[in-house]
Every structure is written in C-alpha cells, then in structure tokens.
Amino acid sequence: MSSADAFAPSASNSDVQIPVIFVCGGAALLLGGLASSVTLTDDQLIVRNFGWRRSLPVDSITVVEPGYSGTVITTSCGRSITAMAVPKPNHARWSGTLTRSDHIANEIRIAAGLRPHQGRQQHRSRPGCHRRRQG
C-alpha cells in the first residue's frame, strides 16, 4: 500500500449516517406537523398530537390559552393538554396580532360557554382587499 492510498477518500459509515439522520429528522418533523389536529364537535374537543389522542368534554374546559408550543387547554379538574396543531408565534404575541390560534381558541371558548378573548388586531392593508362600509 503506497502513501497515496492511505489518504485517498473512501466511503465510510459516517458518510452515509449523517444524511440518513437529517432525512429521518426531517421526516419526523413533517409527520409531527401532519399528525396533529384539533377537532371540535358539539360535545367534545378532540386533540390529536404526534403519538396520542385525547378527547375532552367541552363542558369541562375552563381555560384556553394560545402559546408558542401550542394552545393550552385546561379542564375543571386542573388537567392541561397542549394542542400542538395551533401554536402562536412569539412575534404575534409581542405585537398583539390575532392569529389562527387566537381564532381557534375563541371558537373553543364559545363552545365551552366561556367569554371570548378580545385582543387587538393589526390590519395590513393590501390593494383590492378593503371592505366597503355600508351606509
């Protein structure tokens, strides 16, 4: 074996492992996003996160708060469940902008007989998207 062969690149296990780790990690993140949901029926709230599913009676819900990791739903017995399907970005919280998570949280609050949250909303004007006032 010559000295030139000792420094020649060769295919090793580490050359294959790193891309496989990134592909598997990306697939897990994608599946985690697709596998989570929140379903509101007349009498139940079904929260499905990656790996588990919980059903809550709507009457037992006492607090609904959107947050960065998801919407936290607290029941009358003190149990909290985080719905990861509807997170609220930090920039929206800091600026006070209403997001999809706020609207979903309000729908859950209304179904549970709670008072909806009245937050401030920043409207971004776009050409052609203005509503005309009636009157």
Asked if 53 contacts 37 with a C-beta cutoff of 8 angstroms, the reply is no
Structure tokens at 133: 């006032």
* Contacts within 8 Å (CB) and 24+ apart, 124-130: none
Does the pTM surpass 0.75? The reply is no
Written as tens digits, the pLDDT of the chain (135 aa) is 555 555 555 555 556 677 778 787 777 767 666 678 899 999 999 999 877 899 999 999 999 999 998 999 999 999 999 998 888 999 988 888 889 999 999 999 999 999 888 765 544 444 444 344 444
Q: How do 61-66 and 52-57 pair as beta strands?
A: unpaired
Asked if 83 contacts 33 with a C-beta cutoff of 8 angstroms, the reply is no
Ordered domains of the chain (ranges, CATH):
34-111 (2.30.29)
